Chain A
Amino acid sequence: MTDFFGALQLELRAAGQRSPRRRARIAELAGVVAATALVAAAVAVALVVMGGGEESNQAPGAARPAPVGTVIPKGEGKPPRQARSVVVATGTSPGVGPWQMEASRSSVLRHGDEVLQPAGLRCISLAPRGPGRRFFLLSAGQCGEFPRTPGFSRLQLPGAILRGDSERAQRLREKPVLVYGRVPERAARVVVTAPDGLRLEARPHEGPPSARGDFYAISVPRGHRGARVNWLDRYGKPGSRGAELLPPITR
């Protein structure tokens, strides 16, 4: 047997020897999952690390993006990965520079007896990989599904991470925001539209064979109220109801 079948057999054997959780508990858990997914739509569970430094600072772990398919074991990398991660896409975008997108599974997060995040949710994160900036971001991501757009998620790298009125801060705040996420494999394009006529398109990145779906990243300029992102199939038909973009894009 390969690892998967052997490991699952052990999990089943162990589960057969203990009592299942009560249904009420599951209902609570389902609520947490739903809440996680909904909150995730608005607020990415982000590992944002900001710090000062010299202009010439390298972000810790700054390097070129790893090839698609690279596996980063749990506990390795900078920041140390909380679970085994796989690089699913790489690219370079304005305002962010080189980046790599990673997929993984969530570990359980608890606060006392309360389960904040169950184990096993699909996670996606994006890490800028270029030379460091004065303020840097190691990685940002989110776990869980977007229930209303199956297979399609929308995340945004936190924008305007440099506060203040300095010329540099103002310049950074004018940079486009990177919108990224997972997209079904039958998607031919990802499109961003806004009532003011904005229309941007990007082709999805094909992930490694082990990854579910494809992935996208698209730079979106700020100041487009009502902007949305959606995917189109090869006939140009919208694949879902789409997702609203968030400030600072829509501010």
Chain B
Amino acid sequence: MRTSGQVLSPADIEELYVAHARRIAGYLMRATGDAELAADLTAETFAAALLARDRYRSDMGAPATWLYAIAANKLRDWRRRGYAEDRARLRLRIERPALSADDVAEFGRLADEVTADALLEELPADQRMALRARVLDDRAYAEIAVAEGVSEAAIRQRVSRGLASLRGRIGGDR
């Protein structure tokens, strides 16, 4: 997949879909607890990614991070408005497939499939590094800051943002 200096193509989005759709669906299912709603938001997330693919830049983080940011925005909109947006789907004339009983069960299973490593991989590189160093390796903020060549406050901020992101992905309120 092209991730540097070039816009993503529809084929890249499909590649992202194959690699991440189920994990994103699990994330949305954990956050909403409703398979129909999670399906709406999953479809809208990828429709929005397809529409916005020429705005993706590699400095936004890995494509998966960018996708999660879109999913998180859709989730936030749903919480604010009370219903799932469908603007991107309408624009692209994408019909959200109906859920079968098997699909509903699958969404339930996906919500339970979560590992810390997988979630860490979805964070921006600076937050991932800071979280690994501070939480997993138990290194001091000052030590990490020296190693990274930034201030201690910057490292604290990255850890804080990384933890907030993880909480959101596990299904917390923010």
Q: CB within 8 Å of B: which residues of A?
A: 2-5, 7-9, 11-13, 15-18, 20-21, 23, 26, 29-30, 84, 105, 118-120, 145, 147, 150-151, 185, 209-212
Residue B22 CB within 8 A of the other chain: yes
The verdict on B2 contacting chain A, using a C-beta distance below 8 Å, is no
Taking A8-B42, A29-B90, A30-B87 as known contacts, 10 extra A-B pairs with beta carbons closer than 8 A to each other, sorted by chain A number, are A2-B103, A5-B21, A11-B96, A15-B10, A18-B93, A84-B98, A151-B82, A151-B83, A209-B35, A210-B101
**A209: chain B residues within 8 A (beta carbon):** 35, 104
With A4-B39, A118-B90, A150-B81: A9-B14 Cβ-Cβ less than 8 Å: yes
Residue in B closest to A121 when the chains form the complex, CB atoms: B86
**B98: chain A residues within 8 A (beta carbon):** 4, 84, 105
- Closest beta carbon of chain B to A18's beta carbon, Å: 7
**Pairwise interchain contact A2-B96, C-beta atoms closer than 8 A:** no
Q: Residue B153 at the A interface, CB < 8 A?
A: no
Contact in complex: A16, B10 (CB < 8 Å): yes
- Bound CA span A119–B97, Å: 11
Query: Which size class do B's interface residues fall under?
Result: 35 or more
By a CB distance below 8 angstroms, the chain B residues around A13 are: 10, 14
Question: From residue A206, how far is it (CB to closest CB) to chain B in Å?
Answer: 13
Which chain B residue lies CB-closest to A184? B82
B interface, by DSSP: helix, strand, loop or mixed? Answer: helix
Within 8 Å by CB of A9, from B17, B81, B99, lies B17
Closest to A1 in B: B22
On whether the beta carbons of A210 and B99 are closer than 8 Å, the reply is yes
Give Cα A3 to B101, complex, Å: 10
List 15 contacting pairs A-B, 8 Å CB cutoff, sorted by A: A2-B100, A2-B103, A4-B103, A8-B42, A8-B96, A15-B10, A15-B50, A18-B92, A21-B91, A21-B93, A29-B90, A105-B98, A185-B34, A209-B35, A210-B99
Q: Is B72's CB within 8 Å of the partner chain A?
A: no
Give the chain A neighbours of B91 by CB distance below 8 A.
20-21, 23, 26
A115 to B25, CA, bound (A): 30
The reply to whether the CB of B37 lies closer than 8 angstroms to some CB of chain A is yes
> For the complex, what is the distance from the CA of A7 to the CA of B98, rounded to whole Å?
9
Contact indicator A212/B47 (Cβ below 8 Å) = no
Q: Which residue of A lies closest to B18 (CB)?
A: A9
For residue B94, CB closer than 8 A to chain A, the reply is: yes
